[in-house]
Amino acid sequence: MNIFRLAVLACASFFIFAVFGCSALRTTRSAYVIEKDVTIPPEKASLYPDVAIVMIGDIQCRDKQECKNLDPAVDNVNEVVGMYPESRYFLIVAGDLTQSAEDWQIEDYFKKENRIRVDKKDIIRIAGNHDVKAGLRQAYKIIGSDKLYDKREIGNVVLISLSNWHEDAPRDNQLQKYIPDDGLAFLERESKKALAEGKILFILAHEKPEGAAWMGDPRSIFFWRKHNPSNVYNSKELKRVLGELSEYAKGSNGMRIVYMYGHTHAPGDWPDTVTVNDGILYLNTSAIRTTDYFLDLRKYPKIFPKFFRKVFPWNKYSTARVLLLKGGADTAFLFTRNLSKDEWYDFFYVIQLGVPFEYK
């Protein structure tokens, strides 16, 4: 697609969005992931999941006042955790826990996390691009271990977590979005094993690969390939691995691979934040930190503010995703929580799994 056609597509998309709203452009591109209206809030619905996975990311407050301002949103996660007392809750934090990995930011993040009523062994964190700005030692503090990549099993779900890191990351903003080569090798090895064993595969990374969920970050129209701020820097290598995994999962009557990521700060109802590409469900966690992107560029104040607030509303509200899984069921439910307003978004997703979820 040439630049002219791409620009026309982008302008048309943004016009439709400005006139009709996010729902006009949202599509999962798959019969296995269906969007529906919320008629009964999940805490009142008879879902009774065995496992609830709460996904947050991009806390990254820049000063102590902003950190304080985000406390109510983080505390609202407990409203989600309290929905089903008999369920086991996992907390997934998709990177950028801090703005620049300074000690006071790390301390503030863990104060927030410690108030969330999830067992510590069931919390999974990765380091995003902002978390590696101060070097590997600080990144380890944020992750809570010296493992840049890891594997967890939740029933028959295998979760592979991949942190960012490159030895030149503290000096190069682009390389702060790099997934280590041995991390990609780990992903390939463990994922193929999981899929060969008939399991469900979850992948957790901070950024998405180039070309996937393109509309999930509107900045994509201004950048290309590895310089796109939405993408993993070494996307070519990551896409090769994901392509092979997609081939492994072909033939399943449902989703076998879910790729969870943060980074974009897109609103929870933004198009392409939940979408299927080449047989993989890409799921953006949205963000805790609220960002009005154009007004956040301090040297460009008040440039068409009403228009840009409408067309580029980088998460106006702190947001979380909640995935509900029930043992023996081949259907999962994905809800989106507005943590700032203490309410649910008015839509949810029904996800047909390629194999039933097993949990003992």
pLDDT at 153: 97
**Residue 261 DSSP SS3:** strand
360 is a domain residue = no
CATH of the domain at 134: 3.60.21.10
| Mean pLDDT along residues 33-60 | 94
Dihedrals phi, psi of 231, to nearest 5 degrees? -105, 150
Q: Provide the domain limits for residue 236.
A: 3-352
68 is a domain residue = yes
Strands 257-261 and 157-162: unpaired
Write down the residue that tokens 């956040």 correspond to.
Answer: 296
Q: Which residues contact 240 (CB under 8 A, 6 or more apart)?
A: none
> Residue 279 — pLDDT band, cuts 50, 70, 90?
very high
> b/e map of 209-223 (b: 16 or more CB within 10 Å)?
bbebbbbbbbebbee
183 is a domain residue = yes
> b/e map of 324-340 (b: 16 or more CB within 10 Å)?
bbbeebeebbbbbbbbb
81 is a domain residue = yes
- Structural domain total, the chain: 1
174 is a domain residue = yes
82 is a domain residue = yes
Using one digit for the tens of pLDDT, what is the confidence trace for 321-351?
999 999 999 999 999 999 999 999 999 999 9
359 is a domain residue = no
Using one digit for the tens of pLDDT, what is the confidence trace for 194-211?
999 999 999 999 999 988
357 is a domain residue = no
Q: What is the C-alpha radius of gyration for the chain, rounded to an integer number of angstroms?
A: 19
